[in-house]
Amino acid sequence: MFARGKEFARNNLLRNPLKPGKQGFLNYVFHERLRPVEYKFGGKSNEGGVYRLRNKLNERVYVGSAKCFKVRWNQHTASLRRGKHSNRYLQADFDKCGEEVFVFEVLEVVGGTKEDRLLVEQRYIDSSFGKNKCYNLRKDASSPHGSKKVGKQYSNIQLLSPDLILYTSVDSVTSFAEEHHLNPKCLWKLLNRQAPSTKGWTLVGTEKKKLGPKNVLKGSKHPNFNKHHTEESKQKNRLAHLGKKMGTEHHNSKTYLGLQLIGPDGVVITEIQCLAAFCRLYGLAPTKLCAVLKGRRKSTKGWSLATISSEIL
């Protein structure tokens, strides 16, 4: 049964071919390659340090560092098979040559912090960068992810914590977020005025003023202070409201004339000035009563139309 499902999936993909970047994933699914990305942990799979991904055909290498070699090998393999690796040159060779020509090798085990691993990684990058044998896109060992947020320094700011402690500068978004248990992305949005707050942290000066008695412009501060309507504007305003009857809820409500609307108790309504007010008075639904008035419905809650006037339709 598995073979039949595999054959169906193969035929479906052949009729709808994948993009070139997805070919590595297709090869992995149907086991057309001999074996997955080879690894040489040397018994150090759960340790951290500096590693490299080496292409055995052209001897090009990708140098990186990781806290755990086994986890990083899984991350590289998964993204390459999906065709979504961040390094386009490494992804292109993976799609062209296949995953059996790549090998994951441990260069050096490095303990300590992330900064210690980056220093060792930088030494290996310097020895291979710029010699047409290196996949790395950056000469420095720092990760490109979030570099825009980490590299920028924020000064002359007023960052207020939930404990009402004021910070006037942030040298590194990542380190500041780790120190105060914040999300670096949310903190970056707050510092760039793209978010009002994050976990109680606010940027002073970005709060919107609430409309209240203290913020209302009065007297000479009001924009229309000492300004009067002209006679022409007064006449336009008068003509706009001319003919309006008091008591209608909506200024553009339709008036129904020539009616013979009979209620449940026999009362006859010949005119409706405001449909919404009439329905609220008698406990009716405006949509259903409107359907009765236009002849699309016979009755609603005992209200029916004796004759339909042409003025309504």
pLDDT > 70? residue 8: no
Q: Is residue 72 part of a domain?
A: yes
- pLDDT average, residue stretch 32-40: 58
On whether the CB atoms of residues 9 and 26 are closer than 8 A, the answer is no
Q: What pLDDT, on a 0 to 100 scale, did the predictor assign at position 216?
A: 64
- pLDDT average, residue stretch 199-208: 76
For the chain, the domain total comes to 3
Helices (H), 173-260: 173-179, 184-191, 231-240
* 145 vs 205: which has the higher pLDDT: 205
* 221 vs 258: which has the higher pLDDT: 258
Which residues form the domain of 297?
A: 261-305
Spatial separation of the C-alpha atoms in residues 206 and 155, rounded to whole Å: 16
Q: Is residue 218 part of a domain?
A: no
Residues 104 and 158 in one domain: no
DSSP 25-62: HHHHHTT-SSSS-EEE-TT-TTS-EEEEEEETTT--EE
Residues 297 and 187 in one domain: no
Q: Is residue 225 part of a domain?
A: no
Q: Is residue 143 part of a domain?
A: no
Mean pLDDT score across all residues of the chain:
78
| pLDDT band per the 50, 70, 90 thresholds, residue 285 | very high
Lowest mean pLDDT among 8-17, 98-107, 250-259, 287-296: 8-17
Residues 184 and 288 in one domain: no
- The CATH number assigned to the domain holding 172 equals 1.10.10.10
Q: What pLDDT, on a 0 to 100 scale, did the predictor assign at position 32?
A: 42
| pLDDT band per the 50, 70, 90 thresholds, residue 284 | very high
Residues 119 and 159 in one domain: no
Q: Which is nearest to 68 in space by CA: 103, 96, 104?
A: 104
Domain end (from 203, 227, 246): 203
Residues 195 and 107 in one domain: no
On whether the CB atoms of residues 65 and 118 are closer than 8 A, the answer is yes
Residues 101 and 60 in one domain: yes
Residues 23 and 112 in one domain: yes
Percent of the chain predicted with pLDDT > 90:
12
Lowest mean pLDDT among 64-68, 117-121, 303-307: 303-307
Q: Is residue 41 part of a domain?
A: yes
